[in-house]
Structure 1
Amino acid sequence: MIILRSIGLFLLAAVAEIGGAWLVWQGLREHKGWLWVGAGVIALGLYGFVATLQPDPHFGRILAAYGGIFVAGSLAWAMIVDGFRPDRWDVLGALICLAGVIVIMYAPRSES
Structure 2
Amino acid sequence: MAVFAYIGAALAEIAGCFAFWAWWKLDKSPWWLVPGVASLCLFAWLLTLVDAEHAGRTYAAYGGVYIMSALLWLWLFEGVKPDRWDLSGTAIALVGAAIILWGPRGS
CA RMSD of superposed structures (Å): 1.0
Partner residue of 1:94 out of 90, 93, 107: 90
Deviations 1:11-39 (A, max 9, x none): 01001101111111112211111111221
Aligned length: 107
Deviation at 1:109, TM superposition (A): 2.3
Task: Give the fraction of aligned pairs with identical amino acids, expressed as a percent.
Answer: 36
State how far apart, in whole Å, the 1-side matches of 2:27 and 2:34 are: 13
State how far apart, in whole Å, the 1-side matches of 2:100 and 2:32 are: 34
Structure 1 length normalisation: TM-score? 0.90
Taking the TM superposition and a 5 Å limit, the aligned residue runs for 1:66-81 are 66-81=62-77
State how far apart, in whole Å, the 2-side matches of 1:7 and 1:28 are: 31
Q: Tell me which residue corresponds to 1:39.
A: 35
State how far apart, in whole Å, the 2-side matches of 1:57 and 1:35 are: 38
Q: Which has the higher contact order (CA 8 A, sep 6+)?
A: 2
State how far apart, in whole Å, the 1-side matches of 2:84 and 2:46 are: 31
Deviation at 1:103, TM superposition (A): 0.4
Deviation at 1:106, TM superposition (A): 1.2
Taking the TM superposition and a 5 Å limit, the aligned residue runs for 1:8-23 are 8-23=4-19
- 1:27 corresponds to 2:20: no
